Chains A and B, each alone.
Chain A
Amino acid sequence: MAGGQINVSRETIGGKMTKNETITEREMTLLIANLLSVKAIFAFPREIFASSANAAWIEVIYMSLLAWAMLELSFLTYKISGKKSIIDLAEKIGKKPFKIAVALLVTAVLAVNFITEVRMFSESVKIILLPKTDIEYIMILLAVTICLGQKSGLSAAATINAIFFPICLVFLGFIVIFLSKTYNMNNLFPILGNGTGSILKGGIKNISCFSDVLAVNLLLPHIQDISIPKKSGRKALLIASLTMLFICLSYALCYPYPWSKEFLLPVYQLSTRIRAGEYFQRFEAFFEFVWEISQLLYSTIYIFLISETLAKAFSLSDRTAICYGVIAAVALISIEPSSVVTVLAVSKIADMATAHLAYLLPIVIPVLYIIKRKKAQNS
């Protein structure tokens, strides 16, 4: 009977809730680091060892510096282009046709990366975890899970990634530590491997390892502050470079050249060598289990990026339908080649054709936009 009755009318009901798709600096850093590192784990660039031999770790440092330089160049344009991705800028430069063309190029770059990665992951699951299961079933499971992951959006994937990715890095650290018993320093010599020429040429050829930095630009509309992508991009590249460096060093220290260029799944080979006391006789299944979640997050983010790019290209308000289509297409294409060797060969060619675009597009498109803007201002 006391006072204080609430006077909220029922008519006020119906406030629509929108899904929050913004991500924080840490989330973005770890997202990009995941994209770069997962690729290094599951689709390990054997070519680095093929081109530079024992000096693969030097090539990784060199590639990292190249990628870092390209990233810094793209950062220079952010002041003017703001929080607009290259797809948004393309629309401002050349209206819809140019936007569609750029979007299709971006999709191609992402798809090439992603299709190879999905197949390699499925193969590693089959070899390590489910040897009796057909790859098709693994792919279907993967596709269904990614579909479920997609429904939750970018923000949820970024949050989960920020929790799981550091755990994965810790496990990678354990691998490096546990492997230390099997390291042979002699494997590192001669220190320059096949020579400086091979390192320099190989570095430019294999720079596709870090082509996922394109995501820094594509995620621009999802950040709160323009200073975030710069910091995140640099940190993520550093994390990924270190991950790759440690993997390469461990691999080089465990397997002498030319034996080291023979394995299809080098990180799996590394994990099979682990012996931790009397108990953990085979570590690779647990390793795969931990990194599986990172891989699923990688796939979720990739599908998000591809579907968002396509949705923007064709001015669609809802990307859900595209998502499912993209997942189905990726699953079908990645499963098409019967052998992993074919996948690697095809992806190598496709990589060479598209990887450099990943670095050039975030520089060229904003520059074109700046030129157009200046012209417009002058006129």
Chain B
Amino acid sequence: MSFFNTVKRYLLYQQKEEKEQFVLKKPENKPIYDVREEKPEQKNKKIFKSVEKNRDVIEERFNYQKNADVVIRELTLRGDTKSFLVFYDGMCRGDTINEGIIKPLLRLPFLEKKGAKYDEKTVLETLIVHNQTKKAQCFDEIIDGINFGGCGIFVDGLDTAFCADVKDWPHRSVEKAKNEQSIYGPQEAFIEMLRGNSAQVRKILKTEKLVCEEISVGNVSKTPGVVMYLEDVANKSLVEEIKRRICGISSDYVISIEEVSMLIEENPLMITGHILATERPDRVARAVSEGRVALMLSGSPRALILPTNAYEMTHSASDAYLRVDFANMSRTIRLIATAISVLLPGLFLAITMYHAEMLPTYLLYAISSSRQNVPFPSVVELLLMDFSFEMIREAGIRMPNPIGSVLGIVGGLILGQAAVSAKIVSPIMIIIISLTGIGSFATADYALSWTYRILKLIFILTGAAFGFFGIGLGIFVYAILIASSTSFGIPFLSPAPGNKLLKNAVFVPPIWKMERRPEYLKTKKPKRGDKISKKWQAGR
């Protein structure tokens, strides 16, 4: 039958059956509960004395009928007192709940004592055997705790609930830094665990003056984080301003530290970021010891360092661990590489298209002869090659490691060679693009390499359109925009030209000359140490 139908379908015209297509409909009913529409009285809804009422509220808030991973465990304590626990399956350590909460609640012969009764003090101090438990009077506090891997405990007859920190979600262990590698110095990098990250910094600084103030970001997500600074060093107004901005974020879900960075930055549309993000605890520790403030967020393997300046962005994590001469050489090479990666293509176009007289005659001949059979103008040729290079770079990042390196070889060597052989591009253009690419890889900060890539394109266009004049205009506009911007109230080009500390910002000073903290941070303690740090040189 079906065979005939198939034949019939090919031979005779039939109206096509209309299949029911899925269309996303507008929601008819409002959600039962929306945290964004909470009124103040709802927000601070008090916990009831009746455990049934509390359970109803919890079931409603957690959408218990649909949510498969929400666990509500009912208990009957001694003396027939009803109680229940709420937690997310998979986010909590089951053993801890069993041993530290359920067993003591069920087994302790507390109520056999004469006159004993369940009150909040007794439950907290006697029955719950867990190191981090807090009590709460309203539902929101408990629910926030549960959402962050806690276990909520409700006991009949108490208008107070308890939240035990039993979180234990899957996370990776501490690994080597991937984007800020250094041969010397510590190799550990941050992970997605907030407390683990703050502990890594604390492990380095080892002082009780290191403050980790708790914050939460996101109206709904309430992603926890910490603002980290040295109490006796950091400028108080700076800390207050950072906290003010974080509290001023009004977004439902803020998941990563990069989002926070974009939300608290003064110039989020500038092509240069004004906040330094690092994955190295040692770098955070160093910055905090200078009087800066670090910001960490749960789930983000990077920390923000606030405020920062233009020079700081060009520093590498390894600079601090190298001898002065080596570090300075490395930094100088990086600065030259930066200049090459940003300006070389634009300058090449400007010179070949507008100011050819600047080149020695034989070099000019060499360039012209290499371009003899290339059908495109220099600018098209350059953009073509640059776009190919950017594609290889993007593809290389997204591919798994072994394929990524193969892609680099295929793209870089074979494609380049083939393009030259096919006379689509000239060999000199391959050299220019390769130098530019290598220069951009030498950039210390990954975010900054994006800036350089965008700037490179701008200078290619201005150089092709107006030669040196266009490049000069571009440099002027970019420089003045950078100079007018600030990072948390500090000019981005701090220290100002002429300031003695400028050379310390551009080059690496000897460690014994780093006696003072950066002036522009206006720290409580301007000095890092004694004037003479090598006291042994003063004599026996």
Contact = CB atoms under 8 A, between A and B. Distances in A.
Given A1-B150, A129-B468, A130-B469, A282 B476 contact: no
A129 B468 CA distance: 7
Interface string B246-277: 11101000000000000000000000000000
- Most chain A beta-carbon neighbours within 10 Å: one of B165, B359, B467: B467
B203 interface: no
B496 A1 contact: no
A138 B469 contact: yes
Contacts of B493: 159, 163
A163 B497 contact: yes
B403 interface: no
A293 interface: yes
B477 A278 contact: no
A15 B237 CA distance: 13
Contact of B354 (A1, A3, A130, A159): A130
Interface residues of B, number: 48
Nearest to A297: B476
A296 B360 CA distance: 30
Nearest to A286: B358
Contacts of B244: 8, 12-13, 15
Interface in B480-527: 480-481, 483-484, 489, 491, 493, 496-498
Interface string A71-111: 00000000000000000000000000000000000000000
Given A13-B248, A130-B466, A285 B355 contact: yes
Contacts of A258: none
A160 B240 contact: no
A281 B358 contact: yes
A130 B462 CA distance: 13
- Most chain B beta-carbon neighbours within 10 Å: one of A4, A156, A280, A293: A156
Interface in A273-314: 278-283, 285-286, 288-289, 292-293, 296-297, 300
A57 B60 CA distance: 91
Give the dominant DSSP class at A's interface.
Answer: helix
Contacts, number: 145
A141 B466 contact: yes
Contacts of A151: 484
Interface string A134-148: 000010010001001
B466 A152 contact: no
B476 A6 contact: no
Contact of B476 (A26, A27, A130, A149): A149
B382 interface: no
A162 interface: yes
Interface stretch (B13-21, B39-47, B68-76, B208-216): B208-216
B472 A24 contact: no
Contacts of A20: 491
B355 A148 contact: no
A6 B227 contact: yes
A285 B498 CA distance: 29
Interface in B147-164: 150, 163
Contact of B134 (A1, A27, A281, A285): A1
B212 A8 contact: no
A10 B360 contact: no
B108 interface: no
A198 interface: no
B358 A27 contact: no
A149 B358 contact: no
A125 interface: yes
Nearest to B467: A129
Interface of A: 1-6, 8-10, 12-13, 15, 17, 19-20, 24, 26-27, 125, 129-130, 133, 138, 141, 145, 148-149, 151-153, 155-157, 159-160, 162-164, 278-283, 285-286, 288-289, 292-293, 296-297, 300
Interface of B: 132-134, 145, 150, 163, 165, 211-215, 227, 240, 243-244, 246-248, 250, 354-355, 357-361, 466-469, 471-473, 475-477, 479-481, 483-484, 489, 491, 493, 496-498
28 contacts: A1-B150, A1-B163, A3-B214, A4-B211, A8-B247, A13-B244, A19-B484, A27-B496, A129-B354, A129-B469, A130-B354, A130-B466, A133-B466, A138-B469, A141-B469, A145-B473, A149-B476, A152-B483, A152-B484, A155-B484, A156-B480, A156-B484, A278-B360, A280-B358, A285-B355, A285-B467, A289-B468, A289-B469
Given A285-B358, A296-B472, 9 more contacts: A1-B165, A3-B214, A6-B246, A130-B466, A156-B483, A156-B484, A159-B483, A286-B468, A288-B469
